[in-house]
Copies of this chain bind each other. A is one copy, B any other.
Amino acid sequence: MLSTLDLPPPRIGDAYNPDCPTRHVLDRIGDKWAVLVMLTLKDGPVRFNDLRRRIGAISQKMLSQTLKSLERDGLVSRAAFPTVPVTVEYRLTPLAGGLIGILDQITHWAESHVGDIMAARRAHDGTDALAA
């Protein structure tokens, strides 16, 4: 069965393959909260509830979850101080530096080209409106 398309694995260098190195990084960058958290930590360590307030629209659950996965990937480190009540600081690891660099480039590209995208969108939607 499927004789016409038994291509072994996907073809292109980066085609869908859960094990592709790029996939993992792409998934991190694609993670809305992970990006926001990393950008918020960019200028230094921040405590849990500060993080929450600064990001604003994030739920406790998502923040906790995001921090744990970032910590697991060695992108964020956690430091707890036995004050009372307990104080916990999160900060970026050196490894995260490269990601921040990429995020900065995305931001830069976005700021200079989002106008084009919006224009294309308006043009497209306008065409649609006429067609309809």
Residues of A within 8 A of B (CB): 5, 7, 9-16, 21-22, 24-27, 29-32, 35-36, 39-40, 53-58, 71-75, 95, 98-99, 102, 105-107, 109-111, 113-114, 116-117, 119-121, 123-125
Considering only CB atoms, which chain B residue lies closest to A123 in the complex? B74
A5, A98, A111, A125: residue with the most chain B Cβ atoms closer than 10 Å: A98
Q: Which residues of chain B come closer than 8 Å to A73, judged between CB atoms? A: 117, 120-121
Are A74 and B32 in touch, CB under 8 angstroms?
no
Q: Which residues of chain B come closer than 8 Å to A57, judged between CB atoms? A: 10, 15-16
CA distance A102 to B125 in the complex (A): 27
CA distance A95 to B29 in the complex (A): 21
CA distance A95 to B109 in the complex (A): 11
Are A117 and B95 in touch, CB under 8 angstroms?
yes
Considering only CB atoms, which chain B residue lies closest to A55 in the complex? B15
Are A117 and B14 in touch, CB under 8 angstroms?
no
